[in-house]
């Protein structure tokens, strides 16, 4: 998808199309979630501090992120892709690989399939996407980047090396900055430079495994299959505060707020988690994380919050204030079976699944909005 989060926001704000738009939290202290291409032309990009983005593009319109909308549109797009072929590997909320081998006889040439998919995404979801077609995942990935925004590029198998060779090394999928720096020190500026380099020299510079992988990519020899994957790897929520918080009731409430959001999203996806992880970013911009694996999988806010509170307390250091807190739920599995009767002892709470209180709260939120019901301690 092209500038996916920003594009989804513009579905509800078509008056902002063509203008620089930045998606970020309201506090102005966080980082950019997404930016339209108009904002990117000023140098704005995702993960940039909001304050810097505003300096680069003071005319940009700021919009708060709506993550449920991104999840909803992503699910619709992925369902559309699986109508083309069941061999779909979703690699992120806005990106996927398709193996078209079995679809060519039924739907015609790959370029025609790509154009039809792009047109269907535009018509159904009012957003655009770019498509790359190649003999391998890595070539298709690079081609899709070259086609952005709102384009399609097909690289015939026989033209793979001609396509790759002049591209800068940074275009190579999966090349990290440290490895790129080492290779640049050897005089390699393009993918073609790497492809023609002696194998032994590359192995000595970056190690045997990394050399074998990157040389194969640079020479168009990637044979990694498209691997359909089901389900999310993790679910979470995090927030950067308008002002740094010391440890105390206010920070504890924010941990609860993030645990509540994460648990709600977990239940929406009909999943259970086995691991709870907490992230704290202190005023000096250092990030601290810790996780705990539960005795049994759960989707309950109470259980998740109790684990998160303990983790947060263990991460806090005297004299340090916190600017960001996040709660992430991992080791996910599909929810199965019927809700169990709760008990009041601690073991019973941790082992319980499908709390009636949580389910009623979820239904109220679904009907009346996310802010319609919350924990009493979160009420100002």
Domains of the chain: which residue ranges? Answer: 4-65, 160-218, 234-378
Strands 21-23, 61-63: pairing kind = parallel
**Cα angle 278, 283, 284; round to 5:** 105
95 noted as active-site residue: yes
pLDDT at 342: 40
Q: Within the chain, which residues score under 70 in pLDDT? A: 26-29, 229-232, 335-357, 359-360, 362-363, 365-380
Number of neighbouring beta carbons within 10 Å of residue 313: 13
Name, in order, each residue with C-beta under 8 angstroms of 188's C-beta and a sequence gap of 6 or more. 169, 194, 197
pLDDT at 337: 43
DSSP bridge pairs for 63? 23
Catalytic residue among 9, 89, 95, 306: 95
Taking the C-alpha atoms of residue 95 and residue 349, their distance in angstroms, rounded to an integer, is: 38
pLDDT at 275: 93
pLDDT at 158: 94
pLDDT at 241: 81
Statement: 234-378 belongs to CATH 3.40.50.150: no
Query: Does the global pTM surpass 0.75?
Result: no
pLDDT at 259: 95
Taking the C-alpha atoms of residue 366 and residue 372, their distance in angstroms, rounded to an integer, is: 9
Token readout for 123 is 């018509």
CATH code for the part of the protein at 4-65: 3.40.1170.60
Domains 4-65 and 234-378 share a fold: no
Name, in order, each residue with C-beta under 8 angstroms of 154's C-beta and a sequence gap of 6 or more. 110, 111, 114, 132, 133, 134, 143
Superfamily of domain 160-218: 5' to 3' exonuclease, C-terminal subdomain (1.10.150.20)
pLDDT at 154: 98
């Amino acid at each position: 998808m092209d500038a996916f989060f920003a594009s989804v926001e513009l579905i509800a704000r078509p008056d902002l199309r063509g203008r620089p738009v930045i998606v970020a939290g309201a506090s102005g202290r966080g980082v950019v979630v997404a930016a339209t291409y108009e904002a990117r032309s000023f140098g704005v990009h995702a993960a940039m501090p909001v304050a810097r983005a505003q300096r680069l593009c003071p005319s940009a319109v700021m919009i708060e992120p709506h993550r449920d909308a991104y999840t909803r549109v992503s699910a619709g797009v992925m369902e559309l892709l699986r109508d083309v072929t069941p061999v779909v590997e979703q690699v992120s909320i806005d990106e996927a690989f398709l193996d078209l081998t079995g679809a060519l006889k039924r739907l015609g040439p790959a370029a025609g399939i790509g154009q039809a998919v792009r047109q269907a995404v535009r018509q159904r979801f009012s957003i655009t996407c770019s498509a790359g077609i190649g003999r391998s995942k890595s070539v298709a990935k690079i081609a899709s980047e070259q086609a952005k925004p709102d384009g399609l590029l097909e690289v015939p198998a026989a033209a793979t090396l001609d396509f790759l060779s002049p591209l800068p090394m940074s275009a190579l999928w999966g090349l990290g900055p440290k490895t790129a720096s080492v290779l640049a020190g050897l005089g390699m500026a393009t993918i073609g430079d790497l492809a023609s380099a002696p194998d032994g020299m590359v192995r000595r510079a970056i190690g045997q495994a990394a050399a074998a992988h990157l040389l194969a990519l640079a020479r168009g020899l990637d044979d990694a299959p498209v691997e359909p994957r089901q389900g999310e790897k993790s679910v979470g929520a995090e927030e950067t505060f308008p002002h740094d918080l010391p440890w105390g009731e206010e920070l504890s409430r924010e941990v609860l707020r993030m645990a509540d959001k994460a648990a709600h999203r977990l239940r929406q996806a009909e999943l259970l988690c086995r691991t709870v992880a907490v992230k704290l970013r202190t005023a000096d911009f250092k990030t601290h994380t810790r996780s705990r694996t539960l005795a049994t999988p759960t989707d309950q806010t109470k259980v998740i919050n109790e684990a998160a509170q303990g983790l947060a307390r263990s991460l806090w250091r005297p004299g340090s204030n916190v600017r960001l807190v996040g709660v992430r739920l991992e080791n996910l599995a599909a929810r199965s079976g019927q809700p169990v009767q709760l008990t009041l002892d601690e073991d019973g709470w941790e082992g319980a699944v499908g709390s009636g209180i949580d389910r009623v709260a979820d239904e109220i939120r679904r009907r009346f909005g996310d802010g319609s019901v919350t924990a009493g301690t979160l009420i100002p």
